[in-house]
């Protein structure tokens, strides 16, 4: 098959990427290419991260410095970056479609605006869209303005895209049910497919690996950790307050617009002696951090299917997570961690003390989590499901490039 994968244009694919839609689409591209499919990727991507002989990368051209500035500047400029990135991704997609000598069998979009625009001009090529986030109604954003803006954007872009795309991939069953009930999306237009886990996290643990990686400022082992973008919806503020009632060290891995505020809060709460902000960490280096940790904490107010949960489970440590997105269904049935009500600091604090005080229980949960990942969440299994989905949508091409009259050729 000939497949065009379109990113959101929000962030480049780099070795420092720790989760997110870009990481998912990169693994889709790699897995599809490994199966012998011809893959074209619309994304800014660092050299060496994809095999140029099997994946054709078409750069979007978002200025790197501008993108970095917008990502670090809070919610409103983050919205501006989404608008810019999606528009540029759409325009680059049109260029590729117009210049292509052969039709694509499917277009797989990972951005709401770029995906919606492509459904308006591509008449003969099936379009698949992956919804990476939970709905604003299933999330608990702290700001009323942010909640309102997200709901307006969702109504204006995501819902019409669900109705126009040939298939929308959602990451867990409750998300599919919500789209059916709230927006009347026909079930045949929805497809549930989870995220997967990188092979580096599936390899047997190396007893010589350490979290410090030569950095004496990091604890050697026995800490809890958070991995993710430092922004309000990730709930790290709640985690810091919860840590005041325990003695366990904590690593905060990641960067974002909230980093300085959270570091100031850590100092105010007298946590600087046992809470370390590592900044951004290369994705491949995370294995050592996970394997020397006691457990991962995900205090998010909004998530769909965070890759960090799978990474921790594959690394053999429990996950302590808020009840958002797929996390309750991932953690509780498999007994691979604990959950709590999002935003409830006292409950989170109690769960932290429970895991920190019972290493045998934590070890048992970590074993359950790793076994669950090995059975269900490898990228190879996810990509095989993608291929079946693509094949079910294949249809005769009306033109040479899959675009509407006037959009190409």
Helices (H), 231-317: 236-243, 259-268, 286-291, 307-314
Lowest mean pLDDT across 45-49, 81-85, 95-99, 115-119: 45-49
Q: Above 80 in pLDDT, residue 351? A: yes
What pLDDT, on the 0 to 100 scale, is given for residue 406? Answer: 36
Q: What is the mean pLDDT of residues 143-151?
A: 88
Q: Please give the share of the chain, as a percent, with pLDDT higher than 70.
A: 91
Q: What is the mean pLDDT of residues 91-96?
A: 96
Lowest mean pLDDT across 9-23, 140-154, 379-393: 9-23
Contacts of 8 (CB under 8 A, 6+ apart): 21, 22, 82, 85, 86, 89, 110, 111, 114
Is the CB of residue 116 less than 8 Å from the CB of residue 164?
Answer: yes
Q: Above 50 in pLDDT, residue 390? A: yes
Cα–Cα dist 390/108, whole Å? 9
What pLDDT, on the 0 to 100 scale, is given for residue 309? Answer: 94
What pLDDT, on the 0 to 100 scale, is given for residue 53? Answer: 81
CB atoms within 10 A of CB 76: 11
What pLDDT, on the 0 to 100 scale, is given for residue 17? Answer: 53
- Give 18's pLDDT tier (boundaries 50, 70, 90): very low
- Give 280's pLDDT tier (boundaries 50, 70, 90): confident
For the chain, give the mean pLDDT.
88
Q: Above 70 in pLDDT, residue 404? A: no
Model confidence over 185-242: pLDDT tens digits?
A: 999 999 999 888 887 888 765 544 544 454 556 676 789 999 998 989 899 999 999 9
What pLDDT, on the 0 to 100 scale, is given for residue 106? Answer: 97
Q: What is the mean pLDDT of residues 244-271?
A: 94
Strand ordering across the sheet containing 38-42: 55-58, 38-42, 2-6, 106-109, 127-130, 167-170, 190-192
Query: Where are the extended beta strands (E) located within 272-388?
Result: 275-279, 293-298, 319-322, 337-340
What pLDDT, on the 0 to 100 scale, is given for residue 387? Answer: 95
The CB-side HSE value for 291 (13 A sphere, CA atoms) comes to 20
Question: 198: left (phi > 0), else alpha (psi -120 to 50), else beta?
Answer: beta
Q: Above 90 in pLDDT, residue 142? A: no
CB atoms within 10 A of CB 95: 13
Contacts of 18 (CB under 8 A, 6+ apart): 227, 228, 253, 254, 280, 281, 283, 286, 308
What pLDDT, on the 0 to 100 scale, is given for residue 21? Answer: 85
Model confidence over 302-314: pLDDT tens digits?
A: 888 888 999 999 9
Token reading at 171: 């990451």
201 phi and psi, to 5 degrees? -85, -15
Is the CB of residue 169 less than 8 Å from the CB of residue 129?
Answer: yes
- Give 273's pLDDT tier (boundaries 50, 70, 90): very high
Token reading at 268: 């105010």
Greater confidence (215 vs 388) lies with 388
Token reading at 87: 């528009």
Token reading at 144: 């009323």
Q: Above 80 in pLDDT, residue 401? A: no
Model confidence over 79-90: pLDDT tens digits?
A: 888 899 999 999
Torsion angle (degrees, nearest 10) of CA 96, 102, 108, 110: -10
Domains and CATH numbers, the chain: 2-196+378-393 (3.40.50.2000), 199-376 (3.40.50.2000)
At 401, is the secondary structure helix, strand, or coil? coil
What pLDDT, on the 0 to 100 scale, is given for residue 7? Answer: 94
Q: Above 50 in pLDDT, residue 122? A: yes
Is the CB of residue 250 less than 8 Å from the CB of residue 226?
Answer: yes
Q: What is the mean pLDDT of residues 52-59?
A: 89
Confidence (pTM) = 0.78
Q: Above 70 in pLDDT, residue 129? A: yes
What pLDDT, on the 0 to 100 scale, is given for residue 400? Answer: 47
Strand ordering across the sheet containing 319-322: 275-279, 250-253, 223-227, 293-298, 319-322, 337-340
End-to-end CA, the chain: 21
What pLDDT, on the 0 to 100 scale, is given for residue 207? Answer: 44
Burial zone of 233 (CB within 10 Å; 0-12 exposed, 13-18 middle, 19+ buried): buried
Q: What is the mean pLDDT of residues 65-77?
A: 77
Is the CB of residue 225 less than 8 Å from the CB of residue 250?
Answer: yes
Cα–Cα dist 54/34, whole Å? 8
Q: Above 70 in pLDDT, residue 27? A: yes
DSSP class of 157: I
What pLDDT, on the 0 to 100 scale, is given for residue 208? Answer: 44
Is the CB of residue 167 less than 8 Å from the CB of residue 389?
Answer: yes
192 phi and psi, to 5 degrees? -90, 120
What pLDDT, on the 0 to 100 scale, is given for residue 71? Answer: 72
């Amino acid at each position: 098959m000939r497949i065009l994968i379109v990113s959101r244009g929000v962030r480049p694919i780099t070795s420092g990427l720790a989760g997110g839609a870009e990481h998912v689409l990169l693994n889709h591209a790699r897995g599809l290419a490994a199966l012998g499919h011809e893959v074209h990727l619309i994304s800014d991507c660092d050299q060496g991260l994809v095999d140029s002989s099997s994946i054709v990368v078409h750069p979007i051209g978002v200025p790197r410095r501008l993108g970095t500035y917008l990502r670090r500047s809070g919610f409103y400029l983050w919205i501006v970056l989404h608008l810019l990135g999606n528009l540029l991704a759409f325009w680059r997609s049109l260029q590729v479609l117009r210049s292509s000598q052969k039709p694509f069998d499917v277009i797989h979009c990972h951005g709401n605006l770029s995906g919606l625009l492509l459904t308006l001009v591509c008449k003969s090529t099936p379009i698949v869209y992956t919804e990476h986030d939970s709905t604003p109604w299933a999330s608990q954003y702290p700001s009323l303005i942010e909640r309102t803006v997200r709901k307006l954007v969702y109504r204006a872009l995501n819902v019409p895209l669900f109705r126009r795309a040939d298939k929308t991939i959602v990451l867990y069953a409750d998300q599919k049910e919500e789209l059916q009930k709230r927006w009347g999306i026909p079930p045949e237009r929805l497809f549930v497919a989870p995220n997967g886990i990188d092979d580096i996290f599936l390899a047997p643990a190396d007893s010589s690996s350490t979290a410090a990686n030569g950095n004496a400022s990091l604890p050697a082992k026995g800490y809890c950790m958070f991995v993710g973008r430092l922004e309000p919806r990730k709930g790290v503020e709640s985690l810091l307050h919860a840590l005041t009632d325990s003695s366990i060290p904590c690593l905060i891995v990641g960067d974002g617009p909230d980093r300085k505020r959270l570091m100031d809060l850590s100092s105010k709460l007298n946590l600087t002696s046992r809470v370390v902000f590592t900044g951004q960490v290369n994705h491949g280096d995370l294995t050592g951090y996970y394997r020397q940790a006691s457990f991962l904490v995900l205090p998010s107010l909004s998530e769909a299917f965070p890759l960090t949960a799978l990474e921790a489970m594959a690394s053999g440590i429990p996950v302590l997570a808020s009840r958002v997105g797929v996390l309750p269904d991932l953690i509780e049935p498999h007994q691979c961690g604990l959950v709590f009500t999002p935003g409830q600091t006292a409950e989170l604090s109690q769960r932290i003390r429970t895991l920190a005080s019972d290493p045998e229980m934590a070890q048992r949960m970590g074993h359950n989590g790793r076994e669950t990942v090995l059975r269900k969440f490898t990228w190879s299994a996810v990509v095989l499901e993608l291929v079946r989905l693509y094949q079910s949508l294949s249809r005769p091409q009306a033109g040479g490039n899959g675009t509407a009259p006037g959009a190409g050729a």
